[in-house]
A = this chain, B = another copy of it.
Amino acid sequence: MPTREAAIFPVTTNDRLLRAAKGAHVDRAPVWLMRQAGRYLPEYRKAREGRDFFDTCRDPDLVAEITLQPIRRFPLDAAIIFSDILVVPQAMGMKVEMVSGRGPVFPNPIASTADLAALIRPDVDESLGYVFEAISRTRTALGGRVPLIGFSGAPWTLMAYMVEGSGSKTFSMARAWLHTRPRESQNLLEMLTETIIEYLAGQIRAGAQMVQLFDSWAGLLGPADYRRHAFPHLVRIGEALKLQFPDVPLALFPRGAHYILEDVAESPYDVLSLDWTIDPAVARRRTRGAITLQGNLDPILLFAETRTIRESVRSMIEGFGVQRYIANLGHGIMPEHDPERVADFVRAVHEFSTDVNEKG
Binding site for B on A (CB under 8 A): 167, 169, 172, 175-176, 178-180, 219, 221-225, 256-259, 276-279, 282, 298, 300-301, 303-305, 308, 315, 330, 334, 336
Contacts and interface: CB of A to CB of B under 8 A. Distances in A.
A336 to B, nearest CB: 8
A224 B315 contact: yes
B303 A279 contact: no
Contacts of A276: 222
Nearest to A174: B300
Given A222-B330, A277-B222, A303 B259 contact: no
Contacts of A279: 222-224, 259
A40 B303 CA distance: 41
B172 A300 contact: yes
A222 B298 contact: yes
A179 B258 contact: no
A225 to B, nearest CB: 7
Contact of A176 (B180, B223, B225, B303): B303
Contacts of A178: 300
Nearest to A336: B172
B256 A301 contact: no
A300 B169 contact: no
Contacts of A167: 169
Given A222-B276, A222-B277, A224-B315, A179 B300 contact: yes
Contacts of A176: 300, 303-304
